[in-house]
Amino acid sequence: MSTEPRLQNRATTSEPRAPIAERRTPNLEPRTPNVEPRTATYIGLFFVALSTLMYEILLTRIFSVTMLYHFAFVALSLAMFGMTAGALAVYLAPQIFTAERLRVQLAAVAVAFPIAMVLSFLTQLSIPFRVHPSIVAIYAIGFTYVVIAVPFIVSGIVVCLVLTGFPARVSRLYAADLAGAALGCVLLILVLDYSDGPTAVLWVAVLAAFGAVAFATDAPSRALRRAALATTVVLVAAAAGHTLLVWRGRVAQLRPAEHHVAQGRRHLLFDRAPHPKLQRVGRPLGRRPSDQRGLGGAAGTRFQSQGS
């Protein structure tokens, strides 16, 4: 028997397949195709990207003191890991991150971003860092990495929600994201000229709180607006107060624990070559130059120079 009729029947009854370019995974469909981002959304994304890059670069300088300098650029890997994990969380949980709750979720996660930044930094300063063959040391290093990655996970959720929530204007939103990141790289230099490393974390958190305020103004929730404003006020007061302590030469309240200070001193003793992170302290508010060296300029977490 000939198989040609059967092949013809199959060819006539089968439906034409769509081109590969037109096939889409259900999770990749635009969630809010007709929603337009408002000005507050652009401003919020700008400040989130700005503060994320500032914090990422700042951690490399802080890690060079609180850890051995070999671990300094682990901050870059943690930032990329955290933001990727945040984006994956949005992708894998479409039933949680829905179009109907987009603006409320953006505001809520944006408010959590500066809070997570400050808390993770304080936790990192309190974790003992030792490099020796023991389970406790390995656990401390791993726990440090997890703690530092938390604010970047939150930042990744914000960025992913914005870019996937408003697909019609993704190019403009991405431009705001890149502009904030670029400005953050330059702005950190100015921040470190007037504060120390730990205080700079507070100022970066203030900028992140500005983004939270922008997102909150676009959300239909008074509670989120109040939370964003309260977070901003508290962080501004803390950053300004700590900056005054640094300028007046008093002992800073945000400083590494003793085990971190010892690590930093040993590292500074061994690094004799001129390096940008080991600058002599400048002259804030007309004070006389100090013979100490600090973390990124006029640092509060300072270490006595041993004469190079």
Which residues pair with residue 304 across a beta bridge?
292
Average pLDDT, consecutive stretches of 10 residues, N- to C-terminus, the chain (308 residues): 52 51 47 73 96 94 79 87 95 91 94 96 85 83 91 96 92 95 93 85 96 94 94 94 80 54 39 36 38 40 37
Domain total in the chain: 1
The pLDDT score that the predictor gives to residue 289 is 36
Token pair of 197, please?
Answer: 């490393």
User: Is 307 a member of any domain?
Assistant: no
Give the Å distances, CA to CA, from 234 to 66, 239, 291: 26, 9, 34
- The residue whose two tokens read 């922008």 is 214
- Residue 194 belongs to what domain range? 36-247
> What's the farthest any 2 CA atoms get from each other in the chain?
103
Cα end-to-end span (Å), the chain: 95
Spatial separation of the C-alpha atoms in residues 24 and 131, rounded to whole Å: 48
179 domain-assigned: yes
| CATH code of the domain containing 78 | 1.20.1250
Q: Which contiguous run of DSSP H or E holds residue 85? A: helix 74-92
Look at residue 213 and tell me if it is in a domain.
yes
Examine residue 18 and state whether it is found in any structural domain, yes or no. Answer: no
* E strand spans, the chain: 292-293, 303-304
Distance CA 143, CA 190 (A): 31
Per-residue confidence (pLDDT) for residue 67, from 0 to 100: 77
Residue 135, in any domain of the structure: yes
Give residue 14's identity as a one-letter amino acid code. Answer: S
Token pair, residue 110, equals 């944006």
Residue 40 forms part of a structural domain: yes
Residue 201 lies in a domain: yes
Q: Is residue 239 part of a domain?
A: yes
CA distance linking residue 161 with residue 180, whole number of Å = 17
pLDDT of 184 reads 94
3-state DSSP call for residue 303? strand
